[in-house]
Each structure stands twice: as C-alpha cells, then as structure tokens.
Chain A
Amino acid sequence: MMEGKRMTLGRDNTVLVHPLVVRITHWINGFAILIMIASGWRIYNASPLFGFKFPSDWTLGGWLAGALQWHFAAMWLLAASGLVYVTYGIMSGHFWRRLLPVAPAAVWRDVAAALRGKLAHDDLRVYNAAQRAAYLGAILIGIVLVLSGLVLWKPVQFYTLGLLMGDYEGARYIHFFAMAALVLFVIVHVVMVLVVPRSFPMMFTGRARVPAATRGD
C-alpha cells in the first residue's frame, strides 16, 4: 500500500534505487554488525592479541560471558539477514547491475577525487567506482568474518576450513583484521552519508531523485 502510494508520488522525478529487500537487510545487517563488533571487542579484551584493550565503555555484554551471549545471538541475525541479502543480490542481478564492473583505475581516480572533495554525487542512482569497490569489499570482508568466526567457534568440526586460515590461532588474527577492515568501512560509510546527507533518507524510501540533466526536460 505504502509502496504504491510512494511510487505514484514520485513518478515524475524519482526512481527506485534500493529495493525493499536491500533496505530491510541493510538495517538488520547494520544492527547485527554493531552488536557483533561491540561484543567482539569485549571478547578480545579477555585475551588480547596485541598490546591494547578496547575501552570497556565501547563494548557490549558487561563481562566475557555476557559478550559471548550477545555475539552468538547476533550471529544468527547476521547470518539470516546476510544470507537473504547475498542470495537476493546474486539471484536478482542486483550485484551485477549495481556493483560491477569495478575497474582498479576508476576506483583509484574516484578515491583520489573524493579525498580532494571533488567527487560528484549528483546522480545517486549509480554507484561511483569507489563505492562499488567499498561495497564489494564489505561483502567479502563479511564472508571472511563469518568463515573465520566459524573456525573459532568450531575449530574441530570445521578443521578443514581452519587449515586455510592457519588453524585456530591463525583464524584469531584473520577474524581480528577482518573486523578492523569492517570497522574502517563502517566509519568511511557513515562519514560519506554525512557528506552526502541526501543518501540517508534513500535507505528508507529506496527512491532517488533523477537529476534534471538526465531527465530530458
């Protein structure tokens, strides 16, 4: 009902960019990832790999057992929502349409332009090369996090998978660095939303305004 009404409203100058499945899984994934990161930091603190700990105030769970409860509860939310997202992205052609092709030269050009504050965001219907690389990277990092997490959770049952990661101890480092990469992605992602605020409501409505130049009027 809502969907139909909105479509009519925006018929002249807006177009559906983020399908409903993508919008719903985006927010569920985001929520689950926040829980996974905050509880994961608490778990890290119980036996740090490096010479630092995360401030307790930034962590979730109160103590190790609580953090583990959060981590292993949110993992189901992330697994379910992530699976829907990736399956939809592959089956519907969404990934191929929106995220590919992504040429390294174009990524470099767009990242450089973004850093100089000169990356254009006039047309939010298409992702620039930097965005494509970032979103593809986030999906890959997510897959690495899930696989290394499985090895940490079940190093005996998933022993063969663990062999690819240097067994249990190797998987700890892979899980940590993949987390760090995902945190970096989340920070850049949020900063870019602040730089281009118009993109924020789009993640709820799904619709982007078609720039006048391409509208042909």
Chain B
Amino acid sequence: MKRLFGMRESLKGQPRPQIEKIERRLFLRQGLSLGALALLSGCEVTNAESVQKVLWAMSRWNDRVQGWIFDPDRLAPEFPETAITMPFPFNAFYSMDEVPSVDAASYKLELSGLVRDKKPWTLPELYALQPQVSQVTRHICVEGWSAIGKWSGVRFSDFLRRIGADLTAKYVGFRCADKYWTSIDMPTALHPQTLLTFRFADQILPAPFGFPMKLRIPTKLGFKNPKHIVAMFVTNEYPGGYWEDQGYNWFSGS
C-alpha cells in the first residue's frame, strides 16, 4: 500500500499524457523481452532453417578456431599402465554383434588422392612397419565419458612420408569396413602421438576395437579415431564424415 501510494506521489505534477507514454513504453519493453524468452523455448524457432544455418556456420567457425588453438608440439598426457580402464567400453553407431569381420588374409589398405605411391598394403606389410611405438592415453567420447587405453603401432606421420603423401594438403580421409568414414586435418595427422595402430592392450586389435587397424588420435574426440580402416586418401577438398555430416563438429580436437 505504502509503495503504491509512493509511486502515485512521485508522479504527481507530471502531465497526464507523458505518464501514459512512460507506462506504454515500459509495457512494450516487458512484452518484447517476454516474447524473446517464449521464442527461445519454441521448437519451431530452433528448427527454423535460418537458425540451423547460423549453428552450422558457427560450427565451421569453431573448426577454424580449433585449428588455430591446436599446438602441433603439445602432447596429450600419457598414463601408467595401472591407469588403464578395464573393461574398455565398446562404442560404435551399431551394436557389438554387428561389428564387421575383416578377413586378415585378403585384407588390403587402399590409398588414393595426393599420394605418390598408391600401391595397396597387405597386413603383413603393415605389421612390418618400423619403428613401433605405444601409448597409454585418454580416449574422450563426444558423449562426455572417457577411458584410458593402450594402443601400439607406427607414427602416422612416418606412414604418410613413406607413401609420399602431399604433406601440404589439407585433409586425410578414411573409409572403414563398417561403412564408417571420417577425415582429419593435416596438422593433426602429423602430430607425433597420432598413431596407425594394430594392437590394443598388447593384443592384436580385437574386432570390436577396430581390427585390423585403427587410427589413434589422442588430440581428438573418439569418433575422429576411425576403426577397421580399409582405405585412406589425401585431399584438399573437405571430405566430411559419417557423424560430421549430421552435425557433429568436424575438427573435434581436444
């Protein structure tokens, strides 16, 4: 009561139309802000084409920013073997019983694009690559969970040099036996911890974890680490990926 009375008092002496103008202005402002809030929660608005365009553009912008932030010399933390997560979680866009079975004897890795030596590689040839290195690193899933595992193989940069890949090209793309595909930027491909791996936990890669070959990238989210790789190509044209084309951020670096 006192408050109301005070309000009326303070407006005393003001010409009537001006008071109405102030009231109208306030009402409009409040209405606008409430309207904006209502818009935010409306599915129609968030699904609108223009909104989706902005979100995709921002995701491309985030690709560029992540490229700038990425330090080619900064190493992902490595852990003692006692820190390894047991059992290591299986994750794919299909269930465990749909894991592809790749025939080791007939397996060939196909190479294409900006590569000098496009000769396909058999599994014994890949296993014979030197030097072999291991890492115990944290695998971080885009869903949020993480797990520590041990992978062994060869530095991907060594392999790219061996096949005469154009290291100034922008992208390396991968096609997998499970119809998955993805692609990465060249600076990440050349990172010292980016490994072409054939072993997991000191065993030949089990089928659920990517037999015969998985690209392990501890500086990227899990879905950027392709399993069951059967073909790779070097290109300057943006290759996209299975999840990336559906809206997951392409760079997805960590």
Residues of A within 8 A of B (CB): 9, 13, 27, 31, 34-35, 38, 43-44, 46-47, 60-62, 64-66, 68-70, 72-73, 76, 153-157, 159, 167-169, 172, 198, 200-201, 204-205, 209, 211-212
Q: Is A72 touching B10 in the complex (CB atoms < 8 A)?
A: no
Main SS class of interface, B: helix
Interface extent on B, as a size class?
35 or more
In the bound assembly, the distance between CA atoms of A34 and B254 in angstroms comes to: 25
B70 & A204 in contact (Cβ 8 Å cutoff): no
> Chain A's nearest CB lies how many Å from the CB of B57?
9
B56 touches A69 (CB 8 A): yes
- Is A154 a contact partner of B55 (Cβ separation < 8 A)? no
Pick out which of these stretches binds chain A: B106-114, B143-151, B195-203. Answer: B143-151
Chain A CB within 8 A of B49 CB: no
Q: How far is the CB of A179 from chain B (nearest CB, A)?
A: 13
* Given A66-B55, A69-B247, A156-B76, 8 further pairs, Cβ under 8 A: A9-B18, A47-B143, A64-B143, A65-B248, A70-B46, A157-B71, A159-B74, A172-B144
Interface residue B133 (Cβ < 8 Å from any Cβ of A): no
- State in angstroms the CA–CA spacing of A47 and B3 once bound together: 50
Check B249 for interface membership: any CB of A closer than 8 A. yes
Secondary structure of the A contact surface, majority rule: helix
B214 within 8 Å of A (CB atoms)? no
What 8 A-B pairs have minimum CB-CB distances, sorted nearest first?
A47-B144, A65-B247, A73-B58, A46-B143, A69-B55, A47-B143, A204-B29, A47-B145
Decide yes or no whether B36 CB sits under 8 A from chain A. Answer: yes
C-alpha spacing A201/B253, complex, angstroms: 44
A169 vs B148: C-alpha distance in the bound complex, in angstroms? Answer: 12
The answer to whether B104 has its CB under 8 Å from any CB of chain A is no
Q: B159 in the interface, Cβ–Cβ < 8 Å?
A: no
Of B134-142, B164-172, B175-183, B204-212, the one contacting chain A is: B134-142
* CB-based contact B30/A35 at 8 Å: no
A-B contact pairs, 29 of them (CB 8 A): A9-B22, A31-B40, A34-B40, A47-B144, A60-B46, A64-B248, A65-B247, A66-B247, A68-B248, A69-B56, A70-B46, A70-B55, A72-B59, A72-B62, A73-B54, A73-B58, A154-B254, A155-B254, A156-B77, A156-B219, A159-B74, A167-B77, A168-B146, A201-B26, A204-B33, A209-B7, A211-B6, A212-B6, A212-B10
